[in-house]
Amino acid sequence: MLKIGLLGLGTVGTGVLEVLEQNRAKIERRAGGPLRVARALVRDPARHSGKPVELTTRAADVLEDPDIQIVVEVMGGLEPARSYMLEALGRGKAVVTANKEAVAEAGSELFAAAERGRSDLFFEASVAGGIPIIHALKESLAANRITEVLGIVNGTTNYILSQMSLKGREFAEALAEAQAKGYAEADPTADVEGHDAARKLAILASIAFEARVKPEHVPTQGIAGITQRDIRYARELGYAVKLLALAREEEGELEAGVYPALLPSEHPLSAVHDAFNAIFLRGDACGEAMFYGRGAGAHPTASAVLGDVVDAARHLRMGGRAVACTCYHPLHRKARGTTPRRHYLRLILEDRPGVLAQVARAFGDQGVSLTTVLQKAMVGELAEVVFLTHLASDVRIEAALGALSKLASVGAVGNWLRIEGERG
């Protein structure tokens, strides 16, 4: 009998207990023998009365118990979760975690502790809930040189953008609906500003490109500036607006970022709606592949956690170690804003002859060529005009916008979004 200690018994911890009980025979058969959750660390035992597990408010009761060989951390947050995991790994216990913040911020420290303790660290549930992307990158796709990871990895923002696209909601209305359904927190900052997605991308990029990537290496932009106008104009032009997490390696340089972007409507990620997640990647041997599913929730996340528990149990019973940290490759980070890509810009301009020529000249002076110019609506006495560009770097677009801001004929920049996912 292998004993498990739970750190946390909230939504995910409760899901772990439920799925383990529901599929116990199959899980134990694959784990090579019986499993039992022996003890769970909670803040308030009264809130969890009736749960089929011994409760404690002392972390030491889990971490120092020699009979507990697998510690499952589902508390969330950097501390004290990080410290608890370090202690468990140092004591030779296998650790399974769903904590994206701790893995993204302290992954190297956790792996070093696992190496010293001759223990294992598993973190499948830290990215994209029930989607088995970590295992795929570390093992199933190990023969590949991954060149690009492009993902929708935050269910809250995807739900908001889906409501804006499919039901015509404005951002504030869609956010309120996401909060009412429990998809968004009362303080949605981490989601709508892209910080949650940046942590997940840091983990994915570290594995995919075998290089240490931390959240501070990921430039991040949220979706609060997306309007119904942008959604509608993008659709008319054959695109969908998505919050993308992107990491790309080219000639030994790594580019990473999280930002809202236009995707061609035929791209597989454009059809990912509501709170679902998906990760699209390219490998030199496998070609294109996409992983799709529920990115959060009690049972999808518990599925990933218990898959890791099965691996941990098999290693403990049969010997051997899990794949350790592979983040050793010395990739250089690409200079920010230097990758050529196409862009969408929505400008508010004076509606008079010669203005479009002035705007085109400002773009041209910075080496930005325009492919599409569409006047969409009037805003009072001003015209709303949408521009699509040929390939150009962010730096050139920023320079062009700086020049445009000095023109009296330019009332405002309505929005600027990158275009991703186009072939050729």
Residues with a known catalytic role: 200
Task: List 71's β-bridge partners, or say none.
Answer: 5, 95
| Nearest-angstrom CA–CA distance, 185 and 179 | 6
Q: Give the 3-state DSSP-derived string for 173-184, with helices as H, strands as E and coil as C.
A: HHHHHHHHCCCC
Crossing angle (nearest 10°) for helices 11-22 and 24-31? 90
Structure tokens belonging to residue 136: 């795929």
> What token pair was written down for 394?
């962010």
**Inter-residue contact 403 to 365 (CB < 8 Å):** yes
423 Cβ neighbours under 8 A, 6+ residues apart = none
DSSP H helices, 281-368, are 298-318, 355-365
Sign (positive/negative) of CA torsion 164, 168, 170, 174? negative
Q: Which two tokens stand for residue 384?
A: 């709303």
Residue type, 323: V
CA distance 153 to 294: 10
Any idea what DSSP says for residue 57?
S
Q: How far is CA 342 from CA 55, 322, 395, in A?
A: 55, 42, 12
Reading the block at residue 409, the tokens are 């004929």
